[in-house]
C-alpha cells in the first residue's frame, strides 16, 4: 500500500502503558484506577480470558453498563489475542441473539439483569455465559496476569455491529492498526494531553464511544464513564470531576444547550466534539455562547473507517455547516459518477482511503464487496477504500459539505437504524400484514422513526397491542415515535410500496 503512516503501530492493549503510574486513568463509581492499577487489571482480565478462550482470534462479547469490565475489555481481549464484540447495552434479546450467533462468540460476559432477559435459544450452545462480577472473581482467583501483547497491526481486534440500510446489523472488522491509529489521530487533532479528563457519555459499543477511552489513554489522561438518565446529570458530572473533554451527538447537545450551566462548570470544558449527525447553525451558535472558551469540533465519520473529517474550531463560526477536512491518517476524496475527482463545488461520493479503513464486514463477502472497493486512481494510499454512499461537495478551500445519503438509513438520536429491522419486528408480531419504517426530520432527534402499517385481517386489537409488543422486542432508540395505520398501502409503478410517497405524506 502506498502512503504508509510513519507512526509505529503497537498492539491496542499498549494504550494502558502510556500514563504515569500514579496518574488517574479511570474513575469508577466506587474507586479510581491509576495507570498502574489499569495495567494490572488489564493483565489480570487478559490472563483469565486466555484461559477461558484459548483459541487465538476467538470472539468474546460484553453486554453491560459502563464500568470496569466494559472499559477494560477492549484492551484485555486484545492482550489475550482475542476479538472483542461489544454489545450495545440498550439492545434486547433478539438483537443480542443475532450478534452472538453471527460473531460466533465463545463467551458472553454481562450484568445479571441483561443476562436474565435472554431466553431459550438466544445463546448459541457453544457460547459460555458469565455474569460480570463472577468473571472478575474468577479472574482474581486465577491470578494469572498476561504481559503486554504482541498482536500484529493487521490482526483483528474487534467486531463492532452497526445497522445497515437493509437487513440485520452487520459486524465491522477492526484491526489493531485501525483502533490505535484512530486514537493517535483524535488525540492529535484535539490537542489532548495528560491533564485532560474525558466524560464518556457515549455507548462503548460504538467506535465514537470507544475512542473516548482510547484517545484519552493515548494522551495519558483520565476517563470518567457515565450512564446518564437526564441531561442534567452530565452538567453535574462535569462540575464534580473537572471534565475538560465532552463528546456527544446532536440530540444530547440540544438538551445540554437548553440547560443553565454555572459559569465555573462551563469553564472546565476545553473542547466539545460532535459526530453521529450534523449540528444546526442555531445549535452551533448556542454552544459557542454557552462555552466561549471551549473549542468546538464538528466531525463526520462512519464505522467502516472510524472517522473521516473534522472542522477546525477556528472555522466553526464562519463555516458552521461544513464537515471540514480529513483527519490525520485519512485521505478523503470526492468522486464523481465518472470515477474522477469531482471539481470544486460539484457533488460526488465521499471515498475514504488510508489505514483507518476497516477490514470489511464479518463473514459477509457480498456486502463487503459493495462498500469496500479498490481506491480511486487519484488516491495516494491505494489499496482498499470505503465508498461511503454519502454525497458531498468540496469548496475552493478544500472544506467539505454534506449533501445527502444514498441509502435509506435512519439516523436518530445518534444511532443508525435499519428500517428493515423495525419492519421485521412489527411483522413478526402477527398484528400487521405490511409495515414501512421511515425517518422523518425531527428537531431533537435528527430523524424520528415513523411506522406505517396495515393491520392483519384477523388482528382485532392490533392498534392497541402493537406498541406494547414493539416495546418488548426493540430497544428504545428503535421505537417508533408514531404509528400510522392504513387500510391499504400506496404502490408505485413497479408494484412495490411507495415509500417516497408515504414519506412525502408524513412530512407535508
List, for residues 246-258, the tens digit of each pLDDT value. Answer: 999 888 898 899 9
pLDDT (0 to 100) of residue 223:
98
- Cell numbers linked to 453: 402499517
Residues paired with 187 in a beta bridge: none
Is 70 exceeded by the pLDDT of residue 166? no
386, 305 Cβ separation under 8 angstroms: yes
Burial 475-502 (b: 16+ CB within 10 A, else e): bebbbbeebeeeeebeeeeeeebbbeeb
Q: What is the pLDDT of residue 68?
A: 97
Read off the C-alpha cell for 451: 411506522
Question: What contacts 464, CB < 8 A, 6 or more positions away?
Answer: none
In the CATH scheme, what architecture does the domain 228-407 have?
3-Layer(aba) Sandwich (3.40)
Task: Calculate what percentage of the chain has a pLDDT beyond 90.
Answer: 81
Q: Residue 493: what pLDDT?
A: 58
Q: Are 497 and 434 spatial neighbours (Cβ–Cβ below 8 Å)?
A: yes
In this structure, which topology does domain 410-507 adopt according to CATH?
GMP Synthetase; Chain A, domain 3 (3.30.300)
- Residue 497: which pLDDT band, with cuts at 50, 70 and 90? confident
Grid cell at residue 358: 476497516
Is residue 313 pLDDT above 60, yes or no? yes
In 3D, which of 276, 322, 270, 277 has the Cα closest to residue 296?
270
State the Cα–Cα distance between residues 170 and 164, nearest whole angstrom.
7
Residues of the chain with CATH 3.30.300.30: 410-507
Q: What is the pLDDT of residues 84-128, one digit of tens each?
A: 999 999 899 999 999 999 999 999 999 999 999 999 999 999 999
Q: 3.40.50.1370, 1.10.274.10, 3.90.400.10, 3.40.50.12780: which CATH number matches 7-17+25-175?
A: 3.40.50.12780
Cβ atoms 176, 152 nearer than 8 A: yes
Binned at pLDDT 50, 70 and 90, residue 491 comes out as confident
Residue 8's pLDDT is what? 58
Q: Kindly report the pTM of this predicted structure.
A: 0.87
Task: With a cut of 90, say whether residue 469 has pLDDT above it.
Answer: yes
pLDDT at 357: 98
Q: Does the structure show a pLDDT above 70 at 312?
A: yes
Query: Please, is 141 exposed, middle or buried when counting C-beta atoms within 10 Å of its C-beta (0-12, 13-18, 19+)?
Result: exposed
- CATH 3.40.50.12780: which residues of the chain? 7-17+25-175, 228-407
- What stretch of H or E contains 348? strand 347-353
Compute CA distances 337 → 226, 340, 349, 460, whole Å: 44, 7, 8, 50
Say what the pLDDT of residue 459 is: 87
Q: How many of the other CB atoms lie within 10 Å of CB of 65?
A: 16
pLDDT category at 380 given cuts 50, 70, 90 is very high
The residues with which 436 forms a beta bridge, in sequence order, are 452
- Whether the pLDDT of residue 406 is over 70: the answer is no
Confidence of residue 403 (pLDDT cuts 50, 70, 90): confident
Q: Report the distance separating Cα 270 and Cα 275, nearest Å.
A: 17
Coarse DSSP helix, strand, coil percentages of the chain, rounded to the nearest 5 percent: 35, 25, 40
Q: What is the average per-residue pLDDT within 324-343?
A: 97
Q: Are 110 and 132 in contact (CB under 8 A)?
A: yes
Amino acid at each position: 500500500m502506498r502512503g504508509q503512516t510513519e507512526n509505529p503501530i503497537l498492539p491496542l492493549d499498549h494504550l494502558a502503558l502510556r500514563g504515569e503510574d500514579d496518574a488517574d486513568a479511570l474513575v469508577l463509581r466506587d474507586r479510581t484506577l491509576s495507570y498502574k492499577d489499569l495495567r494490572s487489571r488489564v493483565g489480570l482480565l487478559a490472563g483469565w480470558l486466555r484461559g477461558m478462550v484459548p483459541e487465538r482470534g476467538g470472539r468474546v462479547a460484553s453486554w453491560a453498563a459502563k464500568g470496569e469490565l466494559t472499559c477494560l475489555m477492549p484492551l484485555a481481549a486484545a492482550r489475550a489475542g482475542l476479538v472483542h464484540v461489544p454489545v450495545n447495552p440498550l439492545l434486547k434479546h433478539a438483537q443480542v441473539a443475532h450478534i452472538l450467533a453471527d460473531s460466533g462468540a465463545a463467551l458472553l460476559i454481562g450484568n445479571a439483569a441483561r443476562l436474565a432477559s435472554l431466553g431459550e435459544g438466544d445463546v448459541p450452545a457453544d457460547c459460555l455465559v458469565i455474569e460480570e462480577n463472577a468473571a472478575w472473581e474468577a479472574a482474581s482467583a486465577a491470578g494469572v496476569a498476561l504481559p503486554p501483547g504482541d498482536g500484529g497491526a493487521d490482526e483483528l481486534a474487534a467486531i463492532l455491529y452497526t445497522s445497515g440500510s437493509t437487513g440485520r446489523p452487520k459486524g465491522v472488522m477492526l484491526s489493531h492498526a485501525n483502533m490505535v491509529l484512530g486514537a493517535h489521530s483524535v488525540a492529535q487533532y484535539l490537542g489532548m494531553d495528560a491533564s485532560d479528563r474525558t466524560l464518556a457519555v457515549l455507548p462503548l459499543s460504538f467506535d465514537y464511544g470507544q475512542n473516548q477511552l482510547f484517545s484519552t489513554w493515548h494522551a495519558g489522561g483520565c476517563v470518567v464513564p457515565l450512564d446518564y438518565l437526564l441531561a442534567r446529570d452530565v452538567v453535574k458530572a462535569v462540575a464534580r470531576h473537572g471534565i475538560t473533554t465532552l463528546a456527544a451527538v446532536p440530540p444530547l447537545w440540544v438538551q445540554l444547550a437548553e440547560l443553565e450551566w454555572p459559569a465555573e462548570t462551563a469553564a472546565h470544558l476545553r473542547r466539545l466534539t460532535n459526530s453521529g449527525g450534523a449540528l444546526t447553525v442555531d445549535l452551533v451558535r448556542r454552544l459557542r455562547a454557552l462555552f466561549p472558551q471551549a473549542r468546538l469540533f464538528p466531525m463526520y465519520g462512519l464505522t467502516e473507517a472510524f472517522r473521516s473529517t473534522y472542522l477546525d474550531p477556528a472555522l466553526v463560526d464562519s463555516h458552521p455547516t461544513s464537515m471540514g477536512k480529513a483527519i490525520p491518517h485519512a485521505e478523503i476524496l470526492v468522486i464523481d459518477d465518472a470515477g474522477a475527482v469531482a471539481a470544486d463545488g460539484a457533488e460526488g461520493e465521499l471515498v475514504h482511503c488510508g489505514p483507518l479503513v476497516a477490514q470489511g464486514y464479518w463473514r459477509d463477502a457480498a456486502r463487503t464487496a459493495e462498500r469496500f472497493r479498490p481506491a480511486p486512481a487519484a488516491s495516494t494510499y491505494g489499496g482498499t477504500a470505503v465508498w461511503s454512499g454519502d454525497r458531498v461537495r468540496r469548496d475552493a478551500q478544500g472544506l467539505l459539505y454534506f449533501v445527502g445519503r444514498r441509502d435509506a438509513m435512519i439516523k436518530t438520536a445518534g444511532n443508525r437504524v435499519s428500517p428493515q429491522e423495525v419492519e421485521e419486528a412489527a411483522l413478526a408480531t402477527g398484528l400487521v400484514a405490511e409495515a414501512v419504517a421511515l425517518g422523518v426530520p425531527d428537531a431533537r432527534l435528527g430523524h424520528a422513526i415513523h411506522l406505517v402499517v396495515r393491520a392483519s385481517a384477523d388482528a382485532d386489537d392490533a392498534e392497541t397491542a402493537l406498541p406494547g409488543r414493539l416495546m418488548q422486542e426493540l430497544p428504545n432508540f428503535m421505537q417508533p415515535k408514531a404509528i400510522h395505520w392504513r387500510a391499504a398501502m400506496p404502490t408505485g409503478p413497479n408494484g412495490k410500496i411507495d415509500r417516497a410517497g408515504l414519506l412525502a405524506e408524513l412530512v407535508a
